[in-house]
Amino acid sequence: MKRLAPAIFLFLSSIMLSQETASEATEDMISNFYSIPDIPALDFLSSDPDNISKPSTTRELVTSLYNALDEDGKVKQGLALEIKPSYLLNIPVNLQDYQDDEFKYMLYNTQVSVASLASSGDIANTDLSWGVRMVIFDNSDPMSDRDFTNMIAKQFVEGGPDSPESSDEEEELKEMAKIIKEGKKEFVKNHWNASWLAVSYAGGTRLKGSEITEGNSIGHQFLVAGGFRISTFGQLGYQAKWSEELREETEMYFEEFELSSRLTIKGKSTLNFFAEIGYNPLLNKEDFESFEEINTERDLSWLGGFEFLITKDLWLNAGVGSEADRFVEGNGIQVLSGIKFGIADKQRIQAPTR
């Protein structure tokens, strides 16, 4: 071991020196891969509008839909609507329902969305999309946990005023915000590997001349994602996606299926492991065999790795497999015996969450 120590030191130094600004860990690709879109209709069009309308009554919804059309009856571009059916159907859901009634939990966590965007290549046309997202259950949701909500409420009372005369709104709001933030942080830490299941669907149409009656499908996608808790140390994440999407370069529909699963094992907070396997076949590959630029043969992809906390805000990560670049990225990557090593300024192995 004494002989190995200088070699390890030199190896780590070479990575760290070549990467003076330890790759800012960028987005946590490893975590974000397993999730459903926040707003499926927007995700489907890759749209990111400044304002999202959230009608909470039927009247507001009708007004929003009316405003989505211009004076000639054409669909406006840049539309973004997020709708909660539980509000529109006027089905009351309180905290007790949320914690005890599975149907009401699911209904409350169901969202319908509608979006529109100028079609790429012809701004006279409009792409209109619609989507649904539904969380079936999620044990990592603090509001569904009675112990959590009870603890927070009791802390609110403890921090409340002794009499109406001594109440200070600003101070109380600040104190309550701190209670919620710290309580949530602790809850997430303790429930990182909780089980969950969510589904989403999105579809779209291209409206010629933005006319509502002149639509041609641009595709559909259906996604199921979730995680199984494994004791206190692990989680098995999974995701299945079916999609049929119009690809501009061929004017034909790609029909794909994507299946992947990941095992995450977390240690005491300094050492974490994961292994992931994925398969993404093109279901109608015979339609594209004449297109040389399109890869119709898809292999099984895999990725495994670990991360180790060297010191505060400095993680050594190592990945192996066909998708290793997704985990180890940035400058100064070193390859040793086929294993890619890199340095990041924060933890990259997180549990998949909705």
Give the interface with other proteins as residue ranges (CB under 8 A): 56, 92-95, 97-98, 108, 141-143, 146, 149-150, 152-157, 159-161, 163-165, 167, 169, 172-173, 176-177, 179-181, 184
Q: Minimum distance between the CB of residue 29 and other proteins, rounded to whole angstroms?
A: 25
For other proteins, the closer of residues 163 and 311 by Cβ is 163
Q: What is each CA distance from 80 to 112, 123, 215, in whole angstroms? A: 11, 17, 18
Question: How many C-beta atoms lie closer than 10 Å to residue 310's C-beta?
Answer: 14
Q: What is each CA distance from 35 to 29, 129, 224, in whole angstroms? A: 11, 20, 9
Q: Minimum distance between the CB of residue 58 and other proteins, rounded to whole angstroms?
A: 16
Beta-carbon contacts of residue 261 (< 8 Å; ≥ 6 apart):
236, 237, 238, 239, 276, 277, 278
Q: Minimum distance between the CB of residue 148 and other proteins, rounded to whole angstroms?
A: 9
Cα–Cα distance between 184 and 189 in angstroms, integer?
8
Q: Minimum distance between the CB of residue 37 and other proteins, rounded to whole angstroms?
A: 17
Question: How many C-beta atoms lie closer than 10 Å to residue 202's C-beta?
Answer: 26
Quickly list DSSP for 114-142: EEEEEETTEEEEEEEEEEEEEEEEETT-G
Per the CB < 8 A criterion, the answer to whether 326 and 344 are in contact is no
Q: Minimum distance between the CB of residue 150 and other proteins, rounded to whole angstroms?
A: 4
For other proteins, the closer of residues 156 and 222 by Cβ is 156
Q: Minimum distance between the CB of residue 48 and other proteins, rounded to whole angstroms?
A: 19
Cα–Cα distance between 153 and 164 in angstroms, integer?
19
Beta-carbon contacts of residue 26 (< 8 Å; ≥ 6 apart):
329, 330
Q: Minimum distance between the CB of residue 19 and other proteins, rounded to whole angstroms?
A: 36
Hey, what are 252's tokens? Answer: 């034909």
For other proteins, the closer of residues 76 and 146 by Cβ is 146
For other proteins, the closer of residues 151 and 314 by Cβ is 151
Can you name the residues that pair with 117 across neighbouring β-strands?
Answer: 127
Per the CB < 8 A criterion, the answer to whether 259 and 277 are in contact is no
For other proteins, the closer of residues 134 and 246 by Cβ is 134
For other proteins, the closer of residues 76 and 181 by Cβ is 181
Quickly list DSSP for 297-325: ----EEEEEEEEEEETTEEEEEEESTTGG
Hey, what are 196's tokens? Answer: 């969950």
For other proteins, the closer of residues 186 and 248 by Cβ is 186
Q: Minimum distance between the CB of residue 88 and other proteins, rounded to whole angstroms?
A: 14
Q: Minimum distance between the CB of residue 99 and other proteins, rounded to whole angstroms?
A: 9
Q: Which three-class secondary structure state does DSSP give residue 241?
A: strand
For other proteins, the closer of residues 53 and 125 by Cβ is 53
For other proteins, the closer of residues 124 and 153 by Cβ is 153
Nearest to 126 by CA among 78, 61, 65, 72: 78
